[in-house]
Chains A and B, each alone.
Chain A
């Protein structure tokens, strides 16, 4: 079945860039998404990318998609302490009725 993988932890210094990586297996993915979850809250949609695109930029966020390798990344420029959270990668697949398959989440810690 479909599978989405992420590394579980990432620590960066305030002001540095963060890069969170994600790999997926489903070649029929239509859209890929990044969500942020802060403690005690629901998931907040950060951005998404259509599977035919290579890159999308939105202010401090840059999403890169390598469709051949089924690899997605989220780069956060000038990382701030407020960026500390869990980041989930997800894919929407035709094979899955456009339901989402979520990765396990990457816990980002921003050190002062």
Chain B
């Protein structure tokens, strides 16, 4: 069954730690996205990728970085976590042809203490 996975689902970590949030999809989609969802539930695009070796910054400036070495995998890394990084992070993927619908993973809730 085609799907999109995120690990871990929940993470509590101390300030200054390096973390990587994992995202994988089995749908063969070229395009992948990372969103940050704030407590008011608004979604902000922070990174996206058109395919292998492609990464682009989204609308919301983020101290995180991403990589795309394999089509199915799009990890997000924070080199030094801070309390301001506490949020819900959602990964999504889509085809690059119409109707372009995005499919979302279950999310990672990150808390930085």
Contacts and interface: CB of A to CB of B under 8 A. Distances in A.
Nearest to B103: A45
A107 to B, nearest CB: 8
A110 to B, nearest CB: 18
Interface residues of A, number: 23
A104 B48 CA distance: 20
Interface string B82-107: 00000000101000101111111111
Contacts of A45: 101-103
Given A30-B98, A31-B98, A102 B42 contact: yes
Given A42-B90, A43-B90, A48-B99, A104 B42 contact: yes
A42 B107 CA distance: 6
Query: How many interface residues does chain B have, given as a range?
Result: 20 to 34
B28 to A, nearest CB: 17
Given A104-B42, A105-B42, A44 B98 contact: no
A98 B41 contact: no
A41 B102 contact: no
Contacts of A100: 45, 102
Interface of B: 6, 33, 40-43, 45, 48, 58, 90, 92, 96, 98-107, 109
Interface of A: 30-31, 33, 35, 37, 40-45, 48, 50, 86, 88, 92, 98-100, 102, 104-105, 107
